[in-house]
Amino acid sequence: MTTPYQLYYWDGLQGRGEFVRLALEEVGVPYEDVARHKKGMPALMASLDGEQVDHPSFAPPVLRAGDLLIGQTSNILVFLGARHGLAPRSQQGRLWANQLQLTIADIVAEAHDMHHPISTNLYYEDQKKEAKARAKDFREHRIPKFLDYFEGVIQRNQGRGGYAIGSRLSYVDLSLFQLIDGLRYALPKTMARLEPDYPGLVALHAKVTKRPNIAAYLASKRRIANNETDIFRHYPELDK
């Protein structure tokens, strides 16, 4: 039987696809992680091929939902959030959720560029000097700037429960969980030093971890382990 959704993302990586996986796991809807199957890579590449699909994506993740082929993490989450109750019902609320998700995407991109500041076509070892300088700025200035913002979002939210939006979980909360999780893996010393200043984000991470579907997912083989080919990478020399 065909699953409702097929997710196209690189095999062996959490990456930007993980933000989509978390949403799908939370709502408990079946999905196929296509690239993890024998014939997955040709299917993934076909989703990016303008000769095979009408609306090709520039890069994964891509979600297939029936006849729809949806690219870009934030765009996919807008779709899933509306369909599965992971977003506010009002237009204003949905725009706010998307705004927050796009801001999360900004820091995720900076986390990647910390270890690849010159080019994604070069190995980390070919740009270590530049990576150390970029990591210092990321640790000392950029992470606090983003976390200050997200902490303020949680603290100013008038809803109950310590969420980012309203009084119930949204895909933004799942993405903030993934952001904190990734930063903890990549920069454990830095995060240990910074986290006391961000009680709302720390509490939200713990709350998401305990949600039944998410807890089951994190304990399963479906959850790909952090590794040094991913967005969040742990190089001890970058974590001072």
For residue 98, which of 17, 198, 18, 175 has the smallest C-alpha distance? 175
DSSP-H helix ranges across the chain: 17-27, 40-46, 73-84, 91-115, 128-137, 143-156, 171-186, 188-194, 199-209, 212-218
Q: Cα separations (Å) of 48 from 4, 34, 43, 44, 210?
A: 20, 14, 9, 7, 36
pLDDT score at 45: 86
Residue 191 placed within a domain: yes
pLDDT score at 51: 80
Q: Which domain holds residue 112?
A: 91-211
From its phi and psi, is residue 190 left (phi > 0), alpha (psi between -120 and 50) or beta?
alpha
CA distance 192 to 79: 35
pLDDT score at 232: 98
CA distance 120 to 95: 31
pLDDT score at 38: 65
- The tally of domains found in the chain comes to 1
Residue 137 placed within a domain: yes
Q: Cα separations (Å) of 66 from 37, 144, 168?
A: 19, 41, 28
Residue 200 placed within a domain: yes
pLDDT score at 35: 87
CA distance 232 to 18: 12
Residue 21 placed within a domain: no
For residue 231, which of 56, 100, 60 has the smallest C-alpha distance? 60
pLDDT score at 12: 93
Cβ-contact 112, 231 below 8 angstroms: yes
Residue 96 placed within a domain: yes
N-to-C CA span, the chain:
50
Residue 31 placed within a domain: no
Question: pTM for the whole thing?
Answer: 0.96
Q: Assign 24 to helix, strand or coil.
A: helix
Neighbours of 186 (CB within 10 A): 25
pLDDT tens profile 91-113: 999 999 999 999 999 999 999 99
pLDDT score at 2: 63
Q: Could you state, in chain order, the average pLDDT of each consecutive group of 10 residues for the chain (240 residues)? A: 85 96 97 84 84 89 95 98 97 98 98 98 97 98 98 97 97 98 98 98 98 98 96 97
At 220, list the tokens: 């399963």
pLDDT score at 5: 96
* Distant-in-sequence contacts of 196-201, Cβ < 8 A, 24+ apart: 197/144, 197/147, 197/151, 198/147, 198/150, 198/151, 199/151, 200/151, 200/154, 200/155, 200/162, 201/147, 201/150, 201/151, 201/154, 201/176
Q: Cα separations (Å) of 85 from 38, 147, 168?
A: 33, 26, 10
Residue 15 placed within a domain: no
pLDDT score at 48: 86
Residue 85 placed within a domain: no
Q: In this structure, what CATH number is given to the domain that contains residue 195?
A: 1.20.1050.10
For residue 110, which of 132, 74, 77, 143 has the smallest C-alpha distance? 143
CA distance 86 to 26: 9
